[in-house]
Structure 1
């Protein structure tokens, strides 16, 4: 049902775009398509975890169609990166999602930072949401860079689908809209796509403990202590692609997303029995915790008398 609804909205959104033509109402279409693109991203995520089909082949086919062709993200590259995150969530040395590319996640990373990351980290809590407007473009570029590597799997197929997506995407936008409106449409669509993606994943781990090589945790504690659930009911479940049950998702990544809410009370009760902290907050609170953490990490650069600790 979820896949069918999103597919209809995707086709309907582009049909509406073509029908409206040269109109400022297209900016609302850009907003709607940003939501649809993100929902497609959630489906690609679930396919990457083999939640939808029993075997690998149909998962790969659907993932390539949705990821590369549908939204312009290298599905194979992203799935590999995301699996590394699942293996070592919030680990400084092994989780690509906390690598200090622009944002830094610990005082140790601040101490080792230079250039743009060091400049940003001073007030990175304020930079966080503006930087998310570039996240979709970052993922598009990273997808191409990964597929240009000679070791990339399915290189020809993935590149063909990715190039086809952008030829059709840019071709349609610039064919229907005059140049200025087309640029504005792209800015709104891709900017909100990046913000929605970032706002969906940020509540899950940002602001939670950062692990280092000194931390030796078993599988359950490694997954639970670095993750945060977000409660809020059906609307939150739909808006966040059911990834708001992040603890259960990390413990059982192959579990179909609709079942995570059923597993949640069982997992929470078990964690209480064995004395493992289980964090569940509201959406706004989760953002507050993440932003406070980012601000505290950069404190050493705002206070001249304080040096970052290694």
Structure 2
């Protein structure tokens, strides 16, 4: 969940510390006259420090779990109960992220997704409506409380080691790499002309730049590189919008859902790719029993590695991003993405003409897309895909992700997303620190009997195809054995 991004209106994290709430509750827990209220979050926090503490309403888990509808959402963070119903529409990570944790223990996911929890507390205070009753455990009774405690202790250890602090030099070099590759492509075509060999070569350079922009874009969505939030916000817009050509708001809404409910049907949009592909064990059987056949899913692994990987970036990313931008009128994102295409045309139209430049853009996407598709999918498709089981944060992420062995090339080629387990457990940790954390995470997995999967890269690529082939076989079996219902 992401509370801390700025509201619309200026470049700061909190717009003069004003918080507009469409909640049914004011800070004192009573309904407002119009159902809506304006609060100064910082003033509210300061006022509560000056006033004697009032007793809070106390709730059981059974009561909290009744409030998990889209129109009625409570969640628990550090034993405090919050009504986030009215806040959901303004949540920078999207309303669905909150809905996915409604009625649940959200302490670990809340801490994982927010780089600066102190700022987020300003947003939380007006939403506070009570606390867990003293006899209630910190989390639902079905969760492994010892594992939850051990994971929180691990996080405190990592914070003490300053492993959540970003190295500005590391990310500056990454950005410089991208800018140099794009500039080099222009210099080459300017000096050598637009022959087909030159075109292929600069397409490769630009594809590398685009792939690395994608990895840097991924960082910008999670990290606080600068101490001042307005610079973080501007850098994210520049990398995602201008360099990569994607809508920041679309990416946030999609990607944060993926992080908070990884590989969970109907909650993780990254596995919601039907009818083009069927993933996991449940979805193929459902399609087979209902005689649904948009393609021959028995051969979907072949479609993926020949056609799907090339459509991944231009269709799954760019077209979806454009569609949401224009449907929801994300004007700021539209301006940034437009600047990306304008720069491309200004750079290459003098050499290739309008249609030639469009062809060059398609070629770059064609080369980049398999790279991004395999890197992003190899750590999830072969892993556990399930319905909601309401497991603890640590178990959910470890079972749904896997790592790829570390090497200088693997780290560069994947943008350090080869440490996918660590990235999902600690999304706000800068990726240059993942290798330091991995032994500690592996040790905690061993203590609690959880698998810590670490593969060679080629095996990870192969496992992706084998998982798709297995899902296709399940579909075929169900399709042939069950009569249409």
CA contact (8 A) 1:51 1:255 kept: no
Per-residue deviation, 1:289? 1.6
Residue 467 of structure 2 is aligned to residue 293 of structure 1: yes
Inter-partner Cα distance in structure 2 for 1:98 and 1:294: 12
Inter-partner Cα distance in structure 1 for 2:277 and 2:435: 31
State how 1:129-168 maps to structure 2 within 5 Å. 129=305, 130-138=307-315, 139-150=317-328, 155-168=330-343
CA contact (8 A) 1:248 1:264 kept: yes
Per-residue deviation, 1:197? 1.1
Per-residue deviation, 1:142? 1.2
Moved more, 258-267 or 47-56: 47-56
Inter-partner Cα distance in structure 2 for 1:115 and 1:160: 45
**TM-score if structure 2 supplies the norm length?**
0.59
Bigger CA radius of gyration: 2
Inter-partner Cα distance in structure 2 for 1:87 and 1:80: 11
CA contact (8 A) 1:48 1:59 kept: no
- After superposition, the C-alpha distances for 1:279-301 in whole angstroms (9 at most, x for unaligned) are 11111111222211111111144
CA contact (8 A) 1:203 1:287 kept: yes
Greater strand fraction, Structure 1 or Structure 2 = 2
Residue 398 of structure 2 is aligned to residue 224 of structure 1: yes
Secondary structure at the aligned position of 2:429 is classed as coil
2:417 pairs, out of 243, 246, 255, with: 243
- After superposition, the C-alpha distances for 1:39-59 in whole angstroms (9 at most, x for unaligned) are 011111101001523453222
Inter-partner Cα distance in structure 2 for 1:65 and 1:237: 24
1:88 pairs, out of 245, 258, 261, with: 261
2:203 pairs, out of 20, 30, 35, with: 30
CA contact (8 A) 2:445 2:451 kept: yes
Per-residue deviation, 1:181? 5.3
CA contact (8 A) 1:204 1:228 kept: yes
Inter-partner Cα distance in structure 2 for 1:112 and 1:59: 44
Specify the alignment match of 2:158 in structure 1: none
Residue 362 of structure 2 is aligned to residue 187 of structure 1: yes
Inter-partner Cα distance in structure 2 for 1:181 and 1:157: 29
State how 1:46-61 maps to structure 2 within 5 Å. 46-61=219-234
Structure 1: which 5+ residue stretches go unaligned? none
Secondary structure at the aligned position of 1:225 is classed as helix
Equivalences, count:
306
Residue 182 of structure 2 is aligned to residue 6 of structure 1: no
Q: Check 1:92–1:264 CA distance in 2 against 1; reply closer, same or farther (3 A cut).
A: same
CA contact (8 A) 1:103 1:117 kept: no
Specify the alignment match of 1:128 in structure 2: 304
Residue 194 of structure 2 is aligned to residue 16 of structure 1: no
Secondary structure at the aligned position of 1:92 is classed as coil
CA contact (8 A) 2:287 2:293 kept: no
**Structure of higher RCO (CA pairs closer than 8 Å, 6+ residues apart):** 1
**TM-score if structure 1 supplies the norm length?**
0.90
Q: Check 1:55–1:270 CA distance in 2 against 1; reply closer, same or farther (3 A cut).
A: farther
Secondary structure at the aligned position of 1:52 is classed as coil
Inter-partner Cα distance in structure 2 for 1:200 and 1:286: 9
Q: Check 1:183–1:257 CA distance in 2 against 1; reply closer, same or farther (3 A cut).
A: same
State how 1:202-217 maps to structure 2 within 5 Å. 202-213=377-388, 215-217=389-391
Inter-partner Cα distance in structure 1 for 2:193 and 2:293: 41
